[in-house]
Structure 1
Amino acid sequence: MKILRVIFFLFVAKTSFANVILPSVFSDHMVIQQNDQVKFWGWASPNEEVIIRPSWTTEIYKTKASNQAKWELMVKTPSYGGPFIISIKGYNEIVLNDILIGEVWLCSGQSNMEMSASWGIKNMDEVEKANHPNIRFFNIPKLSSETPQNNVPANWQASTPEIMKNSSAVAYFFAKRLQENLKEVPVGLIVSSWGGTPAEVWMPEETILNNSILNKAASKLKPVEWGPTQPARAFNAMINPFIGYNIAGVLWYQGEANVGAKNYEKTLTALISSWRSIWNNNFPFYYVQIAQFEYGGDHFGGTEIRNAQRKVLNLSENTGMVVIDDVSTADDIHPKDKKTVGIRLANLALKNHYKTFDGVVNGPLFKNVSFEKGKAKVSFNNSKGLNIKGDNSLFEMAGADKIFYEAKSKTNNDCIVLSSKKVKNPKYVRFAWKNTARSNVFNEANLPASTFTTEH
């Protein structure tokens, strides 16, 4: 009897403390990145053997948990397809079902990324058509933490009218457009967003602490009732748990909560660099320039953020920006047309990352300016078919005193020539330099020009 008790005790101890555990991002219905070496990880007893058997191959992957009770394996994935089954076995066995292989995108930011059809969008007729089993959401709830976390309470869900209605509308329309062009490649959307949050809460704390400019900007953030403003609080709880999960790229829609910041281009560039470094992947990072809004008439805070976002294109490689003020209004900080935004982001990805789209995906972007005989000649990238709509000029000129006056503007081939009787010797120009300004300069693709200034 004593021997039986010992055997029973050893059996219970072994089965109680030796189970393989997976983070929630590895679960039924997940999408994993195609044509890649995908990282799987989890926890198990030290030295416990972990075996992964994916149904798309006869290859078997094995490793052993470390003395820290952690393990990880790199698994090769084929071209898109599914559904597949994955067996992960230690002393116990976990079987993941309905797994798709395709393209995975991380979608993050504040409320305009979070915004779902349930909030009320222009494209409500799309909800009932949202049965797309090859589009999957991994919606992360709002969480904050002072320290990096290793798991989140979330699960993968296939797109249905109900799921789509309560998920990021921008992310959904992005995925739908990708599928139209990539011929039904499954798309996984990891949505990690929180309305009203500044960029500082979305990056590692050391990234801010080790940079005096970022640290100074973060110290100026004031507490608000709707979310954290301290560095890294959302990153720790809503990004860190799935770092290493292979992604194709990032979509970012944020900036309104940083209105008033003077160095946002440095903040966003640091965020991009920190994420790429932690993932060890120079993935594409596509973002939305915030739209015009009535932040107040006594400052240019919103305009400065838009200009900072434009600058990031030259400060960080493999980035792309979409301008949306032609489909938004200054009286609504949450533009209702999320379909156009998602499509424009998708077109960036299709042209720059997937190389499957030949159309124009960017509006005119400031290139340079030259001055001659009291006039300014402004050149743009993406300028084919450059045109000015309406009579009200949004261009301004200034001399050495940096006092700006409205300028007359006219197109000259792919440039715009400016003049003002009040500025005899122009030194600086700016465009749409007002929080509520709506761009009136377009190119052949009818895409709007971005706010810019040459003053700084």
Structure 2
Amino acid sequence: MKCHTKGIIVYTLAASSVFTASGKENGLKLAGVFADHMVLQQQTDASIWGFAEAGETVTVTPSWSRRGEKVKANKEGKWLTTIETPKAGGPFTIEVESGDEKVELKDVLSGEVWICSGQSNMQWKMRGFGVDHFEDDVKKAKHPEIRFCDVPQLLGLEEQDDVQTRWTVCSPNTVLNFSAVAYFFGSQLHEELDVPIGLVSTNWGGSSAEAWMSEEVLQKDFPEFKEPLKKSAKLVDDLGSVFPRGKDVPKGLNQRTPAVLYNSMIKPLQPFAMRGVIWYQGESNVKAPEQYQTLFPRLIQSWRADWQQGDFPFYFVQIAPFAYKAEPIPVAFLREAQAMALAEPNTGMVVTMDVGQVDNIHPKDKKPVGERLARLALARDYGKEGLVDSGPMYESFKVEGKKVRLSFKGIGGGLVSRDGEPLSHFTVAKRNGPFVEAQAEIDGDTVVVWSDEVSRPADVRFAWGNADEPNLMNKEGLPAAQFRTDDRPIK
């Protein structure tokens, strides 16, 4: 149905409701991210918030503490306080009272919470590849301490105060509706840490990075988005503020419209306490790699600023090999732009050059993707010593006569060929000359590259084709990332 709240149309579904900045339901209510079966980030001051009658005192009392936190609702009926969460464990309850009203959260766990966001390769559910594809993993998914929070897909033309989520307990039946990447990430953490894991899934297939960024940041730093943002503002005046997927969505409004997913699928989650973010997105921005060089780092910076939880971990997946047919710019430039975001503090990148499907932009092999994301978290956030969390990453090169010697970091136990065949997908060029196929071999911790066609080599590229599936990796089985030694313009 749809109802009117102070001149703004709000669409409400049976499974999800949205509250605008200018309105709320009467009486005591917790924000929609708080629900039975949820996981709270352990051992932190976790924000908890909601709505009540203006000026009313709200008391929040968790079962692990005898002390109730008191806070007054402001004149708009909003309230927010923090509760000190215990070490991993549960189940707990949380009672929220105001006057003669009372809300109780049941079966609450304390553990590790991660936001899982991006486009279709993050969204893709376990059942989406056919139940038989992950049959063994589904049968083993008896993990009552893994909880999955699903954020409904909503297009918001203005920033929203709230979104009604749903928390689900992991079982062989419910796991079918979990994001595959998020589940394999979370299950690996659960196995290694033996603590409850909360996975907040907020994603939309085909979405662009700019859709996940605030209007304020886009207006300030990216003038190219001012015109579409102006159109969105006109739609608010003419039609309304929030549109659930498939429900009377105005023409031209979609998951690539700037700011619309941030408004309704990120902003309402802030400042929910969590450990960090895993992110898998980029396919919808392949046409503008130069813009992505600044857009993606700015997304990371702005989320951290808005969440106000410091430089929390932000681990992302580099897009996989795929035979893009209509893209005039090599997709390697988008992968390069993604890698540039590693300059941001506390970031990490999962390389997928070995687990793509050149004929499918949604490769089925999601398990290693989730597990590689978990490696990053286990090594960098949870103190798992000796765990190699990256494949070979280009570091430097040196021309030695007719050959070029390449040095890498992330070599782990050593460089190897995945299939035992000669190293593949290297090209070499003289200065400003065309790149030609090259031979390459491992020499200790380096790789030597050459071509009989290039007597004076100057530049090397590796895995620069859209669908390249190279075989260089380290002994831990993590693939080398694409790279180039040149700085030629994008074209």
Do they fold alike, i.e. is TM over 0.5?
yes
- Write the mapping of 1:32-431 to structure 2, written as runs, cut at 5 A: 32-91=40-99, 92-120=101-129, 122-183=133-194, 185-212=195-222, 215=225, 227-263=254-290, 264-281=292-309, 282-296=311-325, 299-313=328-342, 315-383=343-411, 384-388=413-417, 389-391=420-422, 393-431=424-462
**Superposed displacement of residue 46, structure 1:** 2.3
Of 29-38 and 227-236, deviating more is 227-236
Tell me which amino acid in the other structure corresponds to 2:366: K
CA gap of 1:214–1:323, structure 2 versus 1, over 3 A, is farther
**CA distance in structure 2 between the partners assigned to 1:217 and 1:392 by the alignment:** 48
Q: Please, which of 467, 471, 477 is the counterpart of residue 440 of structure 1?
A: 471
- Checking the alignment, whether the CA contact within 8 Å between 2:422 and 2:441 is kept in structure 1 is no
2:173 is paired with a residue whose SS is helix
Q: Is the 8 A contact 2:94 2:105 kept in 1?
A: yes
Say which of 33, 39, 42 aligns to 1:31.
39
Percent of paired sites with the same residue: 41
Contact 1:327 1:335 in 2 (8 A): yes
Deviation at 1:215, TM superposition (A): 4.1
Q: Distance in 2 between matches of 1:97 and 1:363?
A: 43
Whether the aligned pair in 2 keeps the contact of 1:217 and 1:261 (CA below 8 Å) is: no
SS at match of 2:145: strand
Aligned to 1:13: none
Secondary structure of 2:160 counterpart: coil
User: Could you list the per-position Cα deviations for residues 53-88 of structure 1 after superposition, in whole angstroms to 9, with x for gaps in the alignment?
Assistant: 110011221111122321111110110110001111
Aligned equivalents of 2:261, 2:39: Cα separation in 1: 23
Distance in 2 (CA, whole Å) between partners of 1:298 and 1:80 is 48
* Distance change in 2, residues 1:215/1:398 (3 Å): farther
Tell whether the 8 Å contact from 1:80 to 1:101 is kept in structure 2 after alignment.
Answer: yes
Hey, what's the Cα distance between the residues in 2 that align with 1:218 and 1:186? 42
Instruction: Judge conservation of contact 1:18–1:48 (CA < 8 Å) in 2.
Output: no
| Contact kept? 2:428, 2:435, Cα under 8 Å | yes
1:214 to partner: Cα distance: 6.6
Task: Please give the TM-score of this superposition, normalised by the length of structure 1.
Answer: 0.91
Letter in 1 for 2:219: L
Structure 1 position 299, deviation (Å): 4.0
Per-residue CA deviation, residues 140-164 of structure 1 (Å, 9 max, x unaligned), is 1211011011121322111122321
- Where does structure 1 lack aligned partners over 5 or more consecutive residues? 1-15
Distance change (3 Å), C-alpha of 1:18 and 1:324: closer
1:348/1:17 Cα in 2 relative to 1: closer, same or farther (>3 Å)? closer
How far off its partner does 1:365 sit? Answer: 0.5
Change (3 A) 1:46 1:224: closer
The structure-2 alpha-carbon separation of the partners of 1:224 and 1:116, relative to structure 1 and needing over 3 Å to count, comes to farther
- Write the distance in 2 (CA, Å) between the matches of 1:395 and 1:152: 48
Corresponding residue SS for 2:144: strand
Q: Quickly say closer, same or farther: Cα 1:454–1:17, change in 2 above 3 A.
A: closer
What is the CA deviation profile of residues 204-225 of structure 1, one whole-angstrom value per residue up to 9, with x for unaligned ones? 1222222247749989xxx998
Of 85-94 and 205-214, more deviation after overlay is shown by 205-214
Q: What is the identity, as a one-letter code, of the residue corresponding to 1:110? A: Q
CA distance in 2, matches of 1:345, 1:217: 37
Maintained 8 Å contact 1:293/1:302: no
Root-mean-square deviation (CA, aligned residues, Å) is 2.2
SS state at 2:440 partner: strand
Query: Quick one: which amino acid aligns to residue 163 of structure 1?
Result: T
Deviations 1:175-196 (A, max 9, x none): 111011102x111111001001
Greater fraction of residues in helix:
1
Letter of the aligned partner of 2:324 in structure 1?
Y
- Which amino acid in 1 is paired with 2:478? L
The count of corresponding residues between Structure 1 and Structure 2 is 436
Alignment CA distance shift 1:428-1:316 (3 Å): same
Q: Which deviations, in whole Å up to 9, do the C-alpha atoms of 1:35-66 show, x marking residues without a partner? A: 10000111122221111111001122111112
Amino acid at match of 1:175: G
Contact 2:424-2:472 at 8 Å conserved across structures: no
> Residue 61 and residue 402 in structure 1: after superposition, are their counterparts in 2 closer, same or farther (change >3 A)?
farther
1:297, 1:238 → 2: CA distance? 31
Q: Letter of the aligned partner of 1:189 in structure 2?
A: L
CA contact (8 A) 2:423 2:470 kept: no
CA contact (8 A) 1:17 1:45 kept: no
CA deviation after TM superposition for structure 1 residue 327, in Å: 2.2
- Give how far 1:358 is off: 2.4
> CA 1:47–1:84 in 2, change beyond 3 Å: closer, same or farther?
same
Counterpart residue identity of residue 27, structure 1 = A
